Amino acid sequence: DSGVTQTPKHLITATGQRVTLRCSPRSGDLSVYWYQQSLDQGLQFLIQYYNGEERAKGNILERFSAQQFPDLHSELNLSSLELGDSALYFCASSPLGTAAYEQYFGPGTRLTVT
């Protein structure tokens, strides 16, 4: 158990809908990273938050947004969902703001868009 929690574990929704994925980092970790893993693309970095502020942005679509709250949990919002958004979404946390430190991964949320 990494200490990182993600909810929900599974999510099935229809095209055009909006969903929110939630991540709680390990106690004391200030950074949260979001990743998408699809069958054809592998793992891809989406976005990082550090202590409530956006720190780095990767291949995140404009239909997706995220935020980190004062209690350090983070939410990833996915809107106008398309079939191609079906994937595993992981969050990871680390103590500091640099990706040069070990990251602790949550169990993931499996999103299926039908």
Partner 1 sequence: KNEVEQSPQNLTAQEGEFITINCSYSVGISALHWLQQHPGGGIVSLFMLSSGKKKHGRLIATINIQEKHSSLHITASHPRDSAVYICAVKGGAQKLVFGQGTRLTINP
Interface of this chain with partner 1, residues 7 to 66, rule: CB under 8 A: 33, 42-45, 48, 55-56, 58
Inter-CA distances, 32 with 51, 80, 93, 110, Å: 9, 24, 5, 18
Smallest gap, in angstroms, from Cβ of residue 100 to partner 1?
4
Helix (H) or strand (E) holding 44: strand 42-50
- Evaluate whether 93 touches 101 at the Cβ level (below 8 Å): no
Smallest gap, in angstroms, from Cβ of residue 10 to partner 1?
11
Q: Which residues bind partner 1 (CB under 8 A)?
A: 2, 33, 42-45, 48, 55-56, 58, 88, 90, 92, 97-105, 107-108, 110
